[in-house]
């Protein structure tokens, strides 16, 4: 018990140290923008549920301190700090009076995404499955993916590690279908309450199809069907169907 307390303190200490460090490093870039609308509303927190407590006027130069989701923390010339929504910030100008590129994520960023990661759950031949993955797009049409799946059945559980190639014929569509093939290793372990059967490790190959649905910002939903063939050491190979759905984030 004492060890866990020490561990906890160490974690807390490390985290607070990390926080101070990251603030020291990343607080350096704080650009100044010009308010061009009649006013700019400052809220007490980064959300529409927080009240407006101050208003910066047209022609004021405000400094952007940081960002959380679509909210920007700004400092007015009078030293007031508050949070402004992206839609209001979008009307501010740089100090030369030019419009600013706010780089809002949209469908074209979804099409051109490089890295993505996601989590999904579903059915694996009657058992439950949980999958986490990391993907990297070589081109908008082809991406590579590493997957880890935990299979949780009534009588046994197992782990699948696999590598996959995905092919997107229509990467520009909001609902973008894909084909996938891959290979990996499946480790199966029978539950202790059943019988003391031995653990098994087999090669697995699979092919499937699915689709990504772009929601907004960096967010997308994914649905997938896969047909697995477990290459067992017995006479017959095992065929398993997997259905799953989940969400992903891209960067």
Say which residues have a Cβ less than 8 Å from residue 248's Cβ, sequence separation at least 6.
116, 117, 118, 119, 133, 212, 219, 220, 221, 222
Q: Which of 74, 70, 95, 92 lies closest to 83, judged by CA?
A: 74
Say which residues have a Cβ less than 8 Å from residue 208's Cβ, sequence separation at least 6.
179, 180, 181, 224, 225, 226, 227, 242
Token pair belonging to 81: 């700090």
Which 3 state secondary structure label does DSSP give 23?
helix
Cα distances from 85 to residues 31, 63, 65, 92, 177, in angstroms, run: 16, 14, 13, 12, 34
Nearer to another protein, 159 or 165 (CB): 159
Least distance to another protein from the beta carbon of 34, Å? 10
Least distance to another protein from the beta carbon of 98, Å? 8
The residues that touch another protein, with contacts defined as CB under 8 A, are: 4, 8, 11-12, 15-16, 18-19, 22-23, 26-27, 29-31, 33, 44-51, 64-73, 94-96, 98, 100-103, 119, 121, 127-128, 130, 132, 150, 152, 154, 157, 191-193, 216-219, 247, 249
Least distance to another protein from the beta carbon of 145, Å? 17
Nearer to another protein, 73 or 206 (CB): 73
Which 3 state secondary structure label does DSSP give 140?
coil
Nearer to another protein, 26 or 235 (CB): 26
| Dist CA 47 CA 84 (whole Å) | 9
Number of CB atoms found within 10 A of residue 73's CB:
19
Least distance to another protein from the beta carbon of 114, Å? 14
Least distance to another protein from the beta carbon of 141, Å? 26
What DSSP designation does 171 have? T
Least distance to another protein from the beta carbon of 167, Å? 27
């Amino acid at each position: 018990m004492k060890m866990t307390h020490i561990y906890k303190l160490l974690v807390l200490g490390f985290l607070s140290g990390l926080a101070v460090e990251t603030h020291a490093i990343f607080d350096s870039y704080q650009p100044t923008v010009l308010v061009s609308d009649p006013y700019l509303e400052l809220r007490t927190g980064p959300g529409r549920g927080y009240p407006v407590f101050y208003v910066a006027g047209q022609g004021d130069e405000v400094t952007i301190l940081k960002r959380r989701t679509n909210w920007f923390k700004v400092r007015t010339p009078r030293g007031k700090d508050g949070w402004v929504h992206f839609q209001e910030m979008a009307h501010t100008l740089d100090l030369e009076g030019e419009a600013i590129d706010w780089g809002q994520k949209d469908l074209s960023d979804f099409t051109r995404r490089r890295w993505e990661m996601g989590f999904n759950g579903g059915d694996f031949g009657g058992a439950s499955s949980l999958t986490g993955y990391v993907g990297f797009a070589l081109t908008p049409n082809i991406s590579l993916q590493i997957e880890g799946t935990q299979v949780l059945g009534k009588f046994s559980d197992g782990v699948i590690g696999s590598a996959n190639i995905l092919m997107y014929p229509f990467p520009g569509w909001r609902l973008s279908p894909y084909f996938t093939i891959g290979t990996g290793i499946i480790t199966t372990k029978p539950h202790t309450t059943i019988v003391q059967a031995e653990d098994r490790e087999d090669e697995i190959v699979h092919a499937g199809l699915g689709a990504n649905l772009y929601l907004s910002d960096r967010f997308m939903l994914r649905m997938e069907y896969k047909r697995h063939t477990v290459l067992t050491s017995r006479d017959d190979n095992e065929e398993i169907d997997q259905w799953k759905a989940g969400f992903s984030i891209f960067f």
